[in-house]
Amino acid sequence: MNFLDIINKCLLELNYRQVNAFSELVKNDHKRIKTIINIVNQEICTANNWNFLLRKADIFIPANTTEIDNTVNGRILYMLVDGKKYHYVDDAELFLSGNAKDNIYSSCADKLLFPKSPKQRNAQVVYYTKNCVKDAQGNEKTEMTVQTDSSIIPAPFAEQLLTYGTCLRLKANPSYIRFSYWMSMYKEALANLKSTSSIDSKDAPVVRLLRQ
């Protein structure tokens, strides 16, 4: 479902009038719903190392170079340099002082740091993307901004998670008549997403749904 479809699902759950076009979303509650949908979507995507966020990138490290621009748009899971696994260390000083040993890497500001080598190296990076959304052409982005954008959360679960998660935040009142229903449906969708997204049963996500 795209952004407009999710918005209309939220409006239906809230007993508000649905809209036919994105341009009709002019009321304050419309704006709040759009904002909250993006918040819920981002929180779910960043709450766990979901398999659907995994991406792969290639990096070239020039000869006699210790730092390169960090072009990885996310959190690195694996770094393989010329087929050898490199381990992350949180000590940029080792690299800046030229004392870094082989098979490690670090970061500083917007740079990736590597031990110096006389030859060019090729790195393969597996990472969890920061992007939570895709447009109608399949290009990834961080937020839904137009009606044809959609979440990268798998389709069977995105509708339920974003709809009920948004309604919970918008009302934020446990005594509201549909609050318990929304919460149960949200938790059910999250559990189902988890059961199909990881082969490790112990790798359970934790999502904190804050009230506002």
Q: Are 103 and 159 contained in the same domain?
A: no
Q: Are 46 and 63 contained in the same domain?
A: no
Q: C-alpha distances in angstroms, 147 versus 6, 13, 22, 33?
A: 9, 19, 6, 13
Q: Are 23 and 61 contained in the same domain?
A: no
Residue 25 lies in a domain: yes
Quick one: pLDDT at residue 201?
45
The 3-class SS string of 63-85 reads CCCCEEECCCCEEEEEEEECCEE
Burial class (CB in 10 A: 0-12, 13-18, 19+), 173: exposed
Question: For each of the chain's 212 residues, which pLDDT tens digit applies?
Answer: 999 999 999 999 999 999 999 999 999 999 999 999 999 999 999 999 999 999 999 999 999 999 999 999 999 999 999 999 999 999 999 988 888 888 999 999 899 999 999 999 999 999 999 999 999 999 999 999 999 999 999 988 999 999 999 999 999 888 899 999 999 999 999 999 988 875 554 554 444 444 44
Q: Are 101 and 118 contained in the same domain?
A: yes
Q: Are 44 and 56 contained in the same domain?
A: no
Residue 40 lies in a domain: yes
3-state helix, strand, coil in the chain (%, to 5): 35, 20, 40
Total number of domains in the chain: 2
CA dist., res. 85 & res. 87, Å (int): 7
Residue 192 lies in a domain: yes
Quick one: pLDDT at residue 101?
87
**Phi, psi dihedral angles at 20 (to 5 degrees):** -100, -20
Quick one: pLDDT at residue 123?
96
Q: Are 79 and 123 contained in the same domain?
A: yes
Question: Which residue segment(s) compose the domain that 163 sits in?
Answer: 3-50+153-170+183-197
Q: Are 32 and 99 contained in the same domain?
A: no
Q: Which residues contact 198 (CB under 8 A, 6 or more apart)?
A: 50, 51
CA dist., res. 200 & res. 111, Å (int): 32
